[in-house]
Chain A
């Protein structure tokens, strides 16, 4: 073959080798078809561990119980005992180090998530005592009258 064929061919071969070299350095060694096969499991294996190491913000009632066991015991039989502490008191993050104090959500908006009256037959929402937020002591915070942990006025 003549020069005019070889010269562009060398360029092409150089480009291919270059791409393969780049690929060898760029693609991690654990990348490939894993347990779920080529169709569903083609990925970088170490990413699974990266997701496992994602920091948790909500720590759960057991975490609260490590220091505030007196409160948790006191509220065991409370009306609202099924609601996790962090739903109203805020996610723990690294409390008590960071943040030192949690901001409690005392807003009306929080209470009416459940206690705004809706007609919901075929849902347990129907069994929750409800009010019309537009009529029931508008503008006031629920906690001014109701104890958030044990909100029934008859029990107070």
Chain B
């Protein structure tokens, strides 16, 4: 063997061997994520655990200075009653600010309706809030750059910049936006940005006695919310709109809209 050939084959062998060693080195996704402290806020609602007390709605209104008696709220709880004949009746009086204390269902202009106990097949509560979508329809339609998505996924509104045109209120498929009667700008859930960015909990999740609401970092694989999303069956609202909502529901029914 000539010296040139020997060096050549040695180089090829060393190169080949080093590739196979690095290929065998298994990459742990958790390790990579831990090295890159990414943040994406997400929310998990357990509809089984919600008892319709409405403490979350009350806490949200007080925490975020939403006029208490005005008919606007950043979060609300809906009651669904599914009858044995398949009919679905739902209500959400005052957004459930005072909880559900009566068997009468508020049907707005058609008055109060009571479903006889023996006709009820299923009945449950569904808390609603802004979905902080991955591709938010409300943000795209803002003509002045007042509403936006922060790098951590939270959709916010710049109150000094909003001109109150209402496009975003119409654009949201979930109806979570409203016109703030005092600030005179569009308003919506912020995931309690002032609380979560300081390591706290949202006001609604903190007020919930049953743990039906939880917020978590979807990019942290050890976060309880992320673990639940990866291991349990969850649904989202109005998937067909393509907004990629980031509020996930355990025990979601097809009757829920």
- Which residues from chain A contact B207 at a C-beta distance below 8 Å? 58, 84, 86-87
User: Quick check: is B51 within 8 A (CB to CB) of the other chain?
Assistant: yes
User: Quick check: is A114 within 8 A (CB to CB) of the other chain?
Assistant: yes
**Contact (A116, B148) CB under 8 Å given A44-B161, A52-B193, A82-B210:** no
Contact segment of A5-13, A14-22, A67-75, A120-128: A120-128
- B209 CB contact (under 8 Å) in A42, A52, A82, A120: A82
Determine whether the beta carbon of B210 is less than 8 Å from that of A57.
Answer: no
Closest chain B CB from A110 CB (angstroms):
9
Closest chain A CB from B154 CB (angstroms):
8
Determine whether the beta carbon of B123 is less than 8 Å from that of A123.
Answer: yes
Annotate A38-51 by CB proximity to B: 1 below 8 A, 0 otherwise: 01111110011001
Bound: A42/B150 CA distance, A = 10
User: Quick check: is A99 within 8 A (CB to CB) of the other chain?
Assistant: no
User: Quick check: is A1 within 8 A (CB to CB) of the other chain?
Assistant: no
Determine whether the beta carbon of B49 is less than 8 Å from that of A40.
Answer: no
Interface residues on A, range: 35 or more
- B194 CB contact (under 8 Å) in A56, A86, A91, A109: A56
- Which residues from chain B contact A87 at a C-beta distance below 8 Å? 55, 59, 207, 209
User: Quick check: is A77 within 8 A (CB to CB) of the other chain?
Assistant: no
Bound: A128/B98 CA distance, A = 17
User: Quick check: is A133 within 8 A (CB to CB) of the other chain?
Assistant: yes
Determine whether the beta carbon of B98 is less than 8 Å from that of A113.
Answer: yes
Bound: A91/B206 CA distance, A = 12
The residues in B between 21 and 51 inclusive whose CB is less than 8 angstroms from any CB of A are 47-51
Q: Is the interface of B mostly helix, strand, loop or mixed?
A: loop
User: Quick check: is B71 within 8 A (CB to CB) of the other chain?
Assistant: no
Determine whether the beta carbon of B99 is less than 8 Å from that of A56.
Answer: no
User: Quick check: is A98 within 8 A (CB to CB) of the other chain?
Assistant: no
- Which residues from chain A contact B201 at a C-beta distance below 8 Å? 60
Closest chain B CB from A141 CB (angstroms):
15
User: Quick check: is B233 within 8 A (CB to CB) of the other chain?
Assistant: no
The residues in B between 51 and 72 inclusive whose CB is less than 8 angstroms from any CB of A are 51-55, 59, 62-64
Interface residues on B, range: 35 or more
**Contact (A31, B210) CB under 8 Å given A47-B161, A119-B120:** no
Q: Can you name the residue of chain A whose Cβ is closest to the Cβ of B47?
A: A123
**Contact (A91, B122) CB under 8 Å given A44-B161, A109-B101, A119-B103:** no
**Contact (A114, B123) CB under 8 Å given A39-B140, A51-B156, A53-B194:** no
**Contact (A125, B52) CB under 8 Å given A47-B156, A56-B194, A60-B206:** yes
Determine whether the beta carbon of A114 is less than 8 Å from that of B63.
Answer: no
**Contact (A128, B99) CB under 8 Å given A36-B148, A36-B149, A55-B194:** no
**Contact (A112, B99) CB under 8 Å given A48-B156, A119-B117, A124-B51:** yes
Determine whether the beta carbon of B161 is less than 8 Å from that of A123.
Answer: no
Q: Can you name the residue of chain B whose Cβ is closest to the Cβ of A80?
A: B209
Q: Can you name the residue of chain A whose Cβ is closest to the Cβ of B204?
A: A58
Closest chain B CB from A51 CB (angstroms):
4
Determine whether the beta carbon of A91 is less than 8 Å from that of B62.
Answer: yes
**Contact (A31, B145) CB under 8 Å given A47-B156, A56-B200, A84-B209:** yes
Known: A34-B150, A35-B151, A114-B53. 8 other contacts (CB 8 A): A41-B148, A43-B146, A86-B207, A113-B98, A119-B123, A121-B122, A125-B51, A125-B125
Q: Which residues of A contact B (CB under 8 A)?
A: 31, 34-36, 39-44, 47-48, 51-58, 60, 82-84, 86-87, 91, 109, 112-114, 116, 118-125, 128, 133
A–B complex contacts, Cβ < 8 Å, 10 sampled:
A40-B135, A40-B140, A56-B194, A60-B201, A83-B209, A113-B98, A113-B99, A116-B101, A120-B125, A121-B123
Nearest 5 CB-CB pairs, A to B? Answer: A113-B99, A43-B148, A54-B194, A35-B151, A125-B51
